[in-house]
A = this chain, B = another copy of it.
Amino acid sequence: MTLEEARAGLKKLQAKLSAYNHATALIFYDGVTTAPKGVAENRAQTLSVLSEEMYLLTTGKETVELLTFLDEKKEELTEKEKRQVEILFKSIKDTQKIPMDEYVEYQRLLVEADDVWHTAKEESNFALFEPILEKIFETQKKFAAYTDPEKDSYDHWLNEYEDGLNKEICDRFFGTLRERLVPLIKKIGEKEQVSNDCLKGDFPFDKQEEFSYFLMKTIGLDLNKVGFGTTEHPFTISFGSHNDERITTHFHKEDLSYSMFSVIHEGGHALYDTHSAPDLAYTVLDGGVSMGIHESQSRFVENILGRSREFAYYIFPEVVKYFPEVGKYTEEDFYKAINRVEPSLIRTEADELTYSLHVMIRYEIEKKVMAGELKVHDIPSEWNRLYKEYLGVDVPDDKRGCLQDSHWSGGSVGYFPSYALGSAYGAQFLSKMMETVDVYGDLKKGDFTNINKWNEEHIWKYGSLYKPGKLLSMVFEGKEFDPEFYIEYLEKKYKAIYGIE
């Protein structure tokens, strides 16, 4: 094998992986958007075949030889190729440690889990989901032990979603947030509540859909490559490359803001994904690098930009065009309504300020289950206890409790902390961005050009070329990540809204 042949082989291998990713992502997407109800078994059958094919492709003798050869010649590779080999080799080494039949079986389990979770949530029936969730947690532990036998199994998964993350860092980060935010939320609770009447009414689905497309255009998405669908639990997905992306939302007829901010949030993910440098397409460097950085982008667009006073004032007359009944309110009513702080039951509907507490509860539960300190059977009671303790709310049923999120049924244990972490990254990005971009001036005009250009230049174009730690230190020009930016941003914004000194 010559170096040139190996390079061509590396390219071809990644093109194949992209194609399989396209196929499996689309099958998933179809399943949760437009597929009829009764076809989950067929989907499971296909995904189990395709995941076996991918397993054979990534762990096959030919691939291992190719990567070993390239790894030995790494000094002669470009920076991008070097990182591609590194990522592929890690994934192969990880995958090889998992017996193929267990890997394939797990893929099947997850398809079934999605189905069962949907029914369980609908019926608010945790008992139905419990045996499958138990298997998922067990498998997560087992796979972590196969891959990283030396490491704590929850630390393994935290690190998978955000390179470098572990329980110690999370405990410290969440500790700081709790210490500073809980008193602020308490003070807000003592003040007069702001009204969100302007977000309630009757908002027809077809108007909400038109408005969604308007929002997608406004935040700068290229509608030629970003599609739109509706589903139960909104998400964003790439079909094999950053040139084919879909966002999804869920419409509530009586609530304007849920889908509006869901579209902006998912749009933030899609902005990140679709702006990988063109030459990263069909390689493992295509698309966002980690869940934390991904959530930093989505929550940046959703909250820091989308819920700013300037954007609220810009978008309000547009909102009225689609939903004339909102015209009886003012811009300021609208701004306050979309920033109303109210401890509540549902994470995805939580306001910007209490959001982290929802994440913290999931983190505490995952940590305990993975450590064997909490049984899956006892998740509902622990969930309800923590919601009472942190947020002061009573959980009336599991549908609005521990069955609300799709993450666990999708096998994503260790993912949640990245939401809170991402929010905190975003506030620090803002402070850097404002050194050169008139962020709030642009938001007044609904102009995302310079904001997006800054993000593209500093974050998006790199795809997965740099690990999150390296990327952050590049953006922050050597400074460390510091949650203080986030806390100060929140304190300033919400003290003003609620008139707290």
Q: Is A22 an interface residue (CB 8 A)?
A: yes
Q: Is A223 an interface residue (CB 8 A)?
A: yes
A:31-83 near B, CB below 8 Å: 33-39, 41-43, 45-46, 49-50, 53
| Candidates B27, B36, B206, B282; contact of A26 at CB < 8 Å | B27
B36 in contact with A226 (CB, 8 Å): yes
Smallest CB gap from A24: residue in B: B23
Query: Which stretch (A103-111, A238-246, A381-389, A483-491) binds chain B?
Result: A238-246
User: A26–B39 Cα gap in the complex (Å)?
Assistant: 13
| Candidates B227, B240, B243; contact of A34 at CB < 8 Å | B227
| Shortest distance from the beta carbon of A215 to any chain B beta carbon, whole Å | 16
User: A352–B15 Cα gap in the complex (Å)?
Assistant: 48
Q: Is the interface of A mostly helix, strand, loop or mixed?
A: helix
B36 in contact with A23 (CB, 8 Å): no
B206 in contact with A41 (CB, 8 Å): no
Q: What B residues does A42 contact at CB under 8 A?
A: 22, 239-241, 243-244
User: Which residue, of A30, A42, A225, has the highest number of chain B Cβ atoms within 10 A?
Assistant: A42
| Shortest distance from the beta carbon of A472 to any chain B beta carbon, whole Å | 30
Q: What B residues does A39 contact at CB under 8 A?
A: 224-225, 227, 239, 243-244
Smallest CB gap from A16: residue in B: B49
A224 in contact with B27 (CB, 8 Å): no
Q: What B residues does A30 contact at CB under 8 A?
A: 26, 30
A:220-243 near B, CB below 8 Å: 222-227, 229, 239-241, 243
User: A49–B46 Cα gap in the complex (Å)?
Assistant: 17
Count copies of this chain in the complex. Answer: 2
User: A200–B18 Cα gap in the complex (Å)?
Assistant: 47
A23 in contact with B50 (CB, 8 Å): yes
| Shortest distance from the beta carbon of A278 to any chain B beta carbon, whole Å | 12
B19 in contact with A46 (CB, 8 Å): yes
B243 in contact with A49 (CB, 8 Å): no
B240 in contact with A46 (CB, 8 Å): yes
A:296-353 near B, CB below 8 Å: none
User: A229–B223 Cα gap in the complex (Å)?
Assistant: 20
Smallest CB gap from A239: residue in B: B42
B206 in contact with A45 (CB, 8 Å): no
A37 in contact with B243 (CB, 8 Å): no
Q: What B residues does A223 contact at CB under 8 A?
A: 36
4 closest residue pairs by CB, A with B: A38-B224, A19-B49, A23-B23, A39-B244
**14 examples of A-B residue contacts, CB within 8 angstroms:** A19-B45, A23-B46, A33-B34, A35-B227, A35-B244, A36-B244, A38-B224, A38-B243, A41-B243, A42-B239, A42-B244, A45-B241, A45-B282, A53-B53
